[in-house]
Structure 1
């Protein structure tokens, strides 16, 4: 079945045009060898063979100029059919199956495996075998362009020799096709493996050859530079990096002094670090250069997350000591205040009772702070397992819907993408994180018109700060919002926007996400609402070689 060719078809067509020059050189050598053996007794056949080579040269030049028109595999196959036909005519005028030019058919079979790997198996050896059979039939039926007496080569016309050569050559063609197919497939698999490894890097990579043409570009480079299509192999840098926005990148690629390192702002505002280095072979000779692009925005997110985690760890150790020292005297203080309150009530001292009850209430609040301290410092390591998000998020939505502070006119939406992969997490801790964020959203919407609370789960896209496939969980509310200058402090222990808040809830959330190798981010606008986003890696990811091996 005929199918569209992947983007590398243009490079394959150019390669075929170059290899055709090799075939023409071999064809000229064939005519020269035959002329040396046949002498001047086959002048007519030699003149026709030379004329054929001239015509093929003209056709090859035309095909080379129109190489950009090749858009599908079948067009590449037609190019090879053209080569088989003119080689067959050359064999007819230079000795049939006994011609030294038979080697050209073997070259065509190898070229077919090189430019059309795995496509229409056995097509080229079958076609070459048919051409050889037709040529042999002409010689066996005395329809050759000369007779045996003219060239003094009786073996060219002997039926036994002709049929024997034909059988051996056809078998050899299929053997070469099988071996060439295996070699080309191994070469392709190694290239695909290397390409997949580079595609999984968190950095963009573009390699240029010594002529400034693209030799390789991974998907991350295409994404970071916002290129409409991946740069094609063999494309000059000026065309691979088009437009005035990428002029600075083109200047870096063409720089004379290497290596160099420079920061650059991408069209979407991302801060990229571009590193250009020279490629050298084992003899230290320059063979090209590589450009590596790193998304500094992503790195900064990860660094901020790491710094917050270190701060939480240090404060957690301090919290354990404080909590143990405060809890015992606090319990005694609360007990005494409770007895004073009860005694004041029995003797009718209302002012004393009110003051004692205030001490009890504040002791309870201090007790909650101590409890949060202990929770932060004694947090157990997560017990991770594969978790399906749909039932987990449904239970979180149910719990949030039963919260007493939820406004009666507030709707809770659950937006769950289809076929979400499982994540590797501790279900209890992840539920704690989501409920904490939902409760914060509920409290932020107190007194707000048209309160809305949402819970979303989708595969992470271009904003994914992790280096692997991840799920993007987000809690969205239409509350009061958080000023930008306060957003950086939201995960700082003891800092809270709530009058009665301890400032430790989000600290616990941040530590749990850190233990799960995730990233936490807040997007908020005062007066509009807040979105808290959690990125968590999926449980597993399967990479496939279908893109290159199957062509789809």
Structure 2
């Protein structure tokens, strides 16, 4: 997985101070032994002569003996010094190797355990290290990366390719930058990328290190949290506004009816006055619908959660929307398994969500197309879920609009109130489910809803804002 760093020269790691200290002690020992031998020789010579004159032919033999003794002492010192130096150097080298392997093992374990993907390259652009998290983020095996040039692994225009090009060629690094990344299966992810200079043992630049983390789910969760915060802030406001407007609107509607009756008693209103009355009545009805949506969006209520038969519910909705689909030249399809587990929810509110989504799909196909409702049962993290997918072949949604779809009063349709998807989001929250929208402009939209599978007994819970 990781290539080891080349070992430094052996002599650079030698413990010079320890060797010098041991050799100094050895020299002292040899010197003491030599002096003791010379002193013994002197005493022996004094005992032999006993005050007599020393023969001159004895001096050459005496000096030869001393030279031999000195030579033997030096030889013993050199042999001992070499042996001791070799032993100390070997022991120190062995200890250094063990320490180095422990450090390498610790570094390897750390890199393999961290959740952030790590990719290292040398100065030539060859990939030298890949940890398991990088394999998961990049959706590539280490065998396809290690030892290869990054230019041959990542295609031109690839997110990682551009980041490594900037880091290696012009030394421009990035920090915690969110970039789109398309995996081999054409799935689009968002990865958070950082690059930095990689230095060698000598402190010089040795390449580039890249860190990558898949933050697709994190960003989606952040968006859901922001939407939930906005919804929570608007619940009370919407309820108050709806309540305060309901009374004057009812008074206006009542007086309009009285005015119509008054005109009828007087022979009927003029043509222009009748037109004005029709406009006022239509706008009053429109305001009433908006206020009803306000109340649905803002009012906390009590839901009786029970097992809902989704196949039967979807079949009913398809039958209900079939006539409108034919008028719009839309092919309405369903791919639903009949033996699917029931979900836990309120049938009326789930119907409201599905109808809202299907109507939006119809509006996205002004020239006709295909709308499909499909279901799938799956298990995620030990929880059994039923997934409903509504897909269309319409005009799609721009990427900058996707994060704001569930915000109240935000709409991309002329004449829309911007509350339909906000109410659907609220209902999904109340059911403990999720709703997610993906779209490609010009290639349609896909809405995915997930509901928990019903338990064996019925439940009734109060849902508050």
2:352 corresponds to which residue?
432
Q: How far has the Cα of 1:398 moved from its partner?
A: 2.0
2:248 corresponds to which residue?
329
Distance 1:508 1:345, change over 3 A: same
Distance 1:294 1:518, change over 3 A: farther
SS at match of 1:270: strand
The one-character-per-residue Cα deviations of 1:456-487 (angstroms, maximum 9, x if unpaired) are 224689xx9x9977554322334454444444
2:12 corresponds to which residue?
none
* Larger strand percent: 2
Q: How far has the Cα of 1:326 moved from its partner?
A: 0.9
Q: How far has the Cα of 1:428 moved from its partner?
A: 3.0
1:539 corresponds to which residue?
453
Q: How many Å separate the matches in 1 of 2:364 and 2:295?
A: 26
Q: How far has the Cα of 1:248 moved from its partner?
A: 11
Distance 1:489 1:343, change over 3 A: farther
Q: How many Å separate the matches in 2 of 1:247 and 1:352?
A: 70
Distance 1:408 1:292, change over 3 A: closer
Q: Which of the numbers 418, 435, 441 marks the counterpart of 1:519?
A: 435
Distance 1:244 1:497, change over 3 A: closer
Q: In the alignment, is the contact (CA less than 8 A) between 2:145 and 2:153 conserved in 1?
A: no
1:343-354 pair list within 5 angstroms: 343-346=262-265, 347-350=267-270, 351-354=272-275
TM-score (norm 1): 0.44
Q: Does 2:412 correspond to 1:492?
A: no
TM-score (norm 2): 0.52
List alignment gaps of at least 5 residues for structure 2. Answer: 1-113, 119-127, 155-159, 165-174, 196-209, 456-465
Note the aligned Cα RMSD (angstroms): 4.7
Q: How many residues align?
A: 300
Q: How many Å separate the matches in 2 of 1:241 and 1:223?
A: 19
1:236-255 pair list within 5 angstroms: 238=146, 244-245=153-154
1:432-471 pair list within 5 angstroms: 432-446=352-366, 448=367, 450-458=368-376, 471=386
SS at match of 1:495: coil
2:140 corresponds to which residue?
227
SS at match of 1:507: helix
2:157 corresponds to which residue?
none
1:18 corresponds to which residue?
none
Q: In the alignment, is the contact (CA less than 8 A) between 2:402 and 2:437 conserved in 1?
A: no
List alignment gaps of at least 5 residues for structure 1. Answer: 1-200, 207-211, 251-260, 277-290, 542-552
Q: In the alignment, is the contact (CA less than 8 A) between 2:311 and 2:338 conserved in 1?
A: no
Q: How many Å separate the matches in 1 of 2:162 and 2:444?
A: 37
Q: Does 2:333 correspond to 1:413?
A: yes
Q: How many Å separate the matches in 2 of 1:204 and 1:387?
A: 42
SS at match of 1:453: strand
Specify the structure having the higher radius of gyration (Cα): 2
The one-character-per-residue Cα deviations of 1:365-418 (angstroms, maximum 9, x if unpaired) are 111111111111114365545555433322222222255x75164321112369
Distance 1:533 1:239, change over 3 A: farther
* Larger helix percent: 1
Q: How many Å separate the matches in 2 of 1:274 and 1:422?
A: 42
Q: How far has the Cα of 1:453 moved from its partner?
A: 2.1
